[in-house]
Structure 1
Amino acid sequence: MSAAEKPPLMLYLAAPRGFCAGVDRAIKIVELALKVYGPPVYVRHEIVHNKYVVDGLRRQGAVFVDELDEIPQTDQPVIFSAHGVPKAVPEDAAARNMLYIDATCPLVSKVHKEAKIHRKRARDILLIGHKGHPEVIGTMGQLPQGAVTLIETVADAESIRPQEPDNLAWITQTTLSVDDTSDIVGILQRRFPSIVGPHKEDICYATTNRQEVVKVIAAKSDVVFVVGAPNSSNSQRLREVAERSGAAASHLVQRAADIDWRALEGVRSVGLTAGASAPEVLVDEVIDAFRSRFDVTVELEHTVDEDVVFTLPRALREKVAEMEAAV
């Protein structure tokens, strides 16, 4: 199809989008562990929620397992995912004499520390999050069973009957909808005026930034596409935010092959963003797919610069330094 035959399309490209500092750090941890220790390197659960990333690391020699008992007796390291793990997992690894490396995002670790502080101060803890998500499992697993109550919805916030209503604290999953969480927190603060919250918001900077810019592009777009995995919480929230912010429809796609082009007949404007665990190569792939079918004009919608970088675990940094010094 020649350019003259292609229908025009305005593509609003969100910035920031894609990898956050925690995801970037987790992937680098696996890549450096493979470099330092050689394959195989074992990873408990998906290091981040993206099939393209996981498959790429698997090709380099990473072996992904659900639980530690799937790993044979070995001197090779096991890495814990960016979402965090219950404290029983590193305890189990230590009992098995495993070399383990924790790739938990530092912003998730911050929430773990908050939970432990609230526990020391004998507060009832309410965790705003989604049941079954690895991050929620990891956070609740920092404390004894029953110490944390999960709040998923505004209905939960209205109906919860804590044992210590005057000695409460709330924490959150880092990848939630900013607006939904605000509604839930508002209810909790109305019902329990003395409830204690985080000194600094738990929802991470990347989640907030990506949701803010998707609101901008959704208001100008017929359809919004979010590049991300179906089990990625932050990607699902981006899709929801786009729908609430003016787009007639929003779709989560893992890559260009997932796009239903028949549904785009008559569309003149599209918004495009990517969840925090989606690599830029997949965004480029989607843009190329649009260019093959439309006469595309790309307009970058840039709301904020991100310069957050998290340091790698000390033990891994030292190993890398030793290896480089020996060369």
Structure 2
Amino acid sequence: MAQPLKLYLAAPRGFCAGVDRAIKIVEMALEKWGAPVYVRHEIVHNKYVVDDLKAKGAVFVEELDDCPQDRPVIFSAHGVPKAVPQEAQRRNMVFVDATCPLVSKVHIEAERHHQNGLQMVMIGHAGHPETVGTMGQLPVGEVILVETVEDVAQITPRDPEKLAFITQTTLSVDDTADIVAALQARFPKIVGPHKEDICYATTNRQEAVKAVAPLVDALLVIGAPNSSNSRRLVEVGSKAGCKYAQLVQRAADIDWRALEGITSVGITAGASAPEVLIDEVISAFGNRYEVTVEIVETAQENVEFKVPRVLREKVA
């Protein structure tokens, strides 16, 4: 008789509307123009999704220089520096921007503050494609990056009276709150966003993890190691009292020895992880334990983003 195990499934989990839209953009581009279609940077941070699109005819590259002039190119959901679409235009390339609309909203915000003479402080992770893309909306030196509360004390803006801040959309809600408080304490006149930049999907997935963490012996977050929002879910789980919180890409990565003797496991997935990988993890537990599943739902999502018009039009 298999040992009983309770699985608590966090909801919402997995794909968000921006990821859904980005994948749909690649699939529709392949339908419209045929293979190959080029994609600059991983469309979303998930190996399974990227491999699936490769099999359908998408070619993933790091830079525009790696794309032939005569094939369509798609920009990833994380957003790109302004110079990239400008260069594609200069080369007369067909391009489709799959930047998540919530990231585009931050870009527009940065642009608006810049026009009003404010220097930007961006709360984000150095080198993350979203941060690179957002900082690349403005001229060099116009965006100062801070990653931690400690960084806030080190920065030297042009004019402390003329500052605004923006945030990478996939950060931890709680960590960001501390950095914002430090910015406001040091620069009382700093202007914040109308509505916080952290996206609804990031917030909802973190809230669901906070609800699950106290109920379980272990938490598994299904997601890629380079996925910011997935890694934040592991941190949120640990902070909310779960002693063992681990990031796994798929079922094969589960460390079963570490889970010996446990009676309850929480499962969630980052915003770029497909449901098929969540099902795979659940059935891996089903093969080893007598499993009962309970869903812990903290919010419902019914957001949908339209794909760009160029993909809705028929080929001329």
Instruction: Give the TM bin, normalised by the shorter chain.
Output: over 0.9
The answer to whether residue 209 in structure 2 is matched with residue 220 in structure 1 is: no
Per the alignment, residue 263 of structure 1 pairs with: 258
Confirm or deny: 8 A CA contact 1:125 1:149 kept in the other structure. yes
* Amino acid paired to 1:63: V
Residue 35 of structure 1 pairs with residue 34 of structure 2: no
2:53 aligns with 57
| Structure 1 counterpart of 2:272, one-letter code | S
Gap regions ≥5 residues in structure 2: none
| Partner residue, 1:12 | 8
Residue in structure 2 matched with residue 296 of structure 1 by the alignment: 291
Residue 173 of structure 2 corresponds to which residue in structure 1? 178
Mapping 1:1-327, distance limit 5 Å: 4=1, 6-74=2-70, 76-319=71-314
CA distance in 2, matches of 1:109, 1:155: 28
**TM-score, normalising length from structure 1?**
0.95
Moved more, 276-285 or 158-167: 158-167
The count of residues paired between Structure 1 and Structure 2 equals 316
Q: Which runs of 5+ in 1 are unaligned?
A: none
Q: Counterparts of 2:175 and 2:278 in 1: how far apart (Å)?
A: 27
SS in 1 for 2:5: strand
Deviations 1:18-47 (A, max 9, x none): 000000000000000001111000000100
Q: Could you tell me the percent identity over the aligned residues?
A: 68
Give the distance between the partners of 1:289 and 1:300, measured in 2 at CA.
18
Distance 2:202 2:302 in 1: 14
Following TM superposition, by how much is the alpha carbon of 1:159 offset from its aligned partner in structure 2, in angstroms?
2.8
Give TM-score scaled by structure 2 length: 0.98
The one-letter code sitting in structure 1 at the alignment partner of 2:170 is T
1:220 and 1:246 in contact (8 A); partners too: no
2:215 aligns to what SS in structure 1? Answer: coil
Alpha-carbon distance in structure 2 between the residues aligned to 1:91 and 1:35: 25
Q: CA deviation at 1:160?
A: 2.3
Question: CA-to-partner distance for each residue in 1:194-228, whole Å, 9 max, x for gaps?
Answer: 11000011000000000001011111111100000
Q: Which amino acid in the other structure matches residue 40 of structure 1?
A: P
Q: Deviations over 1:265-289 (max 9, x none)?
A: 1111110000000000000000000
Q: Tell me, what secondary structure is at the counterpart of 2:166?
A: strand
The alpha-carbon deviation at position 69 of structure 1 amounts to: 1.1
* Distance apart, 1:72 and its partner CA: 2.3
Distance 2:83 2:154 in 1: 31
1:7 CA displacement: 1.1
User: How far apart are the structure 1 equivalents of 2:65 and 2:176?
Assistant: 36
2:177 alignment partner AA: S
Query: Whole-Å Cα distance in 2 between the matches of residues 213 and 221 of structure 1?
Result: 13
